[in-house]
Structure 1
């Protein structure tokens, strides 16, 4: 089975304060080796990179409706520049809200579903390899 890895590079806007917005380069990554997850890499500042991993269906669902109840929430938002979404990230150490255009992210998510259709993710899992990679063996 061929491996599928897909990436999307976009800029999202980080609301740093009520009147301060900063453009943040973000790389979304998807691999059929972990078919349920999307990794987001936020390049906050030179030398400061933050990685988050969350469910692919959470990102997909958040393009249309508010979803998420924990550390990651995704929702459509009103914008004067077209259809947008927000990602809220929260940890005990801090909170961030980023916004961006729906179109490029939705198109990229569609490609991930072409690579691994919804409901077929378990067929792509290699449980033994996953356990080896995540158990520290």
Structure 2
């Protein structure tokens, strides 16, 4: 009998970053999912061994973003089709700049690879079976505030 219970999922993808009106350039997206934080996917974007950004993304929002536009705040997702190439467009808005604008970057991920990773997360914790310890949540809120 196999008593091993998978608690995490990880995938590294080559994605395309577009920021500040520049052309797309390839960067790595290190995606992580942990059953201890069942609603979130962590995305760490890096290039040449340097971390460019780290975001905690809502797993359900990522899933919905593969089929239609979602998000109105700092993260906005939508599917993009360029013929045979299906992508997930992820827009990230950062801190305000001194000129009143906001930092802004767009990341394009190959949609089938993202869908595959999200399927893996659903094997770890199926939708609707997410559990969060209220005591742990309160402790983290108190520690952060």
Distance 1:101 1:47, change over 3 A: closer
Superposed counterparts of 1:1-20, under 5 Å: 2=5, 4-16=7-19, 18=21, 20=23
Would the aligned equivalents of 1:44 and 1:50 in 2 still touch at CA under 8 Å? no
The answer to whether structure 1 residue 107 and structure 2 residue 110 are counterparts is no
Written as runs of structure 1 = structure 2, the 5 A alignment for 1:71-82 is: 71-82=74-85
Per-residue deviation, residues 31-63 of structure 1 (Å, max 9, x unmatched) = 010000111001145434311002100111101
Normalised by the size of structure 2, how large is the TM-score? 0.81
Q: TM-score, normalised by structure 1?
A: 0.86
Select the residue among 52, 61, 65 that pairs with 1:62. 65
Q: Unaligned 5+ residue runs, structure 2?
A: 97-102
Rounded Cα–Cα distance in structure 2 between residues aligned with 1:95 and 1:44? 17
Contact 1:4 1:31 in 2 (8 A): yes
Distance 1:136 1:2, change over 3 A: farther
Aligned-residue CA RMSD (Å): 2.2
Distance 1:13 1:32, change over 3 A: same
Matching residue of 2:130: 121
Question: Deviations 1:81-117 (Å, cap 9, x if unpaired)?
Answer: 5211110000234000011211111011011112111
Deviates more, 1:127-136 or 1:83-92: 127-136
Number of residues paired by the alignment?
Answer: 135
Task: Determine the C-alpha separation between the residues in 2 that align with 1:66 and 1:97.
Answer: 14
* 1:41 paired residue number: 44
Residues 20 and 104 in structure 2, CA contact (< 8 A), matched pair in contact too: no
SS in structure 2 opposite 1:29? strand
